[in-house]
Amino acid sequence: MSGYHEREHFRSLFHDELPALFSQRPTDGVACISGGPSGSDAGAIFPAVTFNDVPLGSMMDNDALPRAFGLSCSAPLDVLGSGGRTGSPELMVDVGNGSGSLTPAFGCGGRATTVTPNSSTSSLSAEAAGEEDADRCQKEEQQEEEGDTSKKVKKHKKQGERRQREPRFAFVTESEVDHLEDGYRWRKYGQKAVKNSPYPRSYYRCTTQKCPVKKRVERSYQNSTIVITTYEGRHTHRCPATVRGSTLLLPPPLMSTSFFQDLVMQQAHQLNSTANQMPPLQQLEFSHYGLLQDMVPSFAHHGQP
DNA sequence: CGAGTTTGACCTGCGC
DNA sequence: GCGCAGGTCAAACTCG
CB atoms closer than 10 angstroms to residue A210: 7
Tell me the CA–C1' distance in angstroms for A191 and B16: 27
Tell me the CA–C1' distance in angstroms for A154 and C11: 14
Q: What predicted TM-score, i.e. pTM, was given to this entire model?
A: 0.51
Q: Which residues on neighbouring strands pair with residue A121, listed in sequence order?
A: A174
Q: Is there contact between A158 and strand B, defined as CB under 7 Å from any strand atom?
A: no
Cβ neighbours of residue A63 under 8 Å, at least 6 residues apart? Answer: A234, A235, A299, A300
A181-191: pLDDT as tens digits: 777 888 898 99
Residues of chain A with pLDDT > 70, as a percent, come to: 23
A53-66: pLDDT as tens digits: 333 333 444 444 44
Q: Is there contact between A190 and strand B, defined as CB under 7 Å from any strand atom?
A: yes
Tell me the CA–C1' distance in angstroms for A180 and C11: 28
Mark the nucleotides of strand C covered by protein, meaning any atom under 7 Å from a CB.
4-10
Query: Quick one: CATH architecture of A168-230?
Result: Single Sheet (2.20)
The 3-state DSSP class for residue A296 equals helix
Band (A141; pLDDT cuts 50, 70, 90):
very low
Tell me the CA–C1' distance in angstroms for A237 and C12: 31
Tell me the CA–C1' distance in angstroms for A44 and B15: 34
Q: Is there contact between A195 and strand C, defined as CB under 7 Å from any strand atom?
A: yes
Residue A116's nearest CA partner among A234, A241, A229, A214 is A241
| Cα A185 to Cα A23: distance, rounded to the nearest angstrom | 27
Residue A19's nearest CA partner among A65, A80, A66 is A80
| Structural domain spans, chain A | 168-230
Q: Is there contact between A215 and strand C, defined as CB under 7 Å from any strand atom?
A: no
Q: Is residue A211's pLDDT more than 60?
A: yes
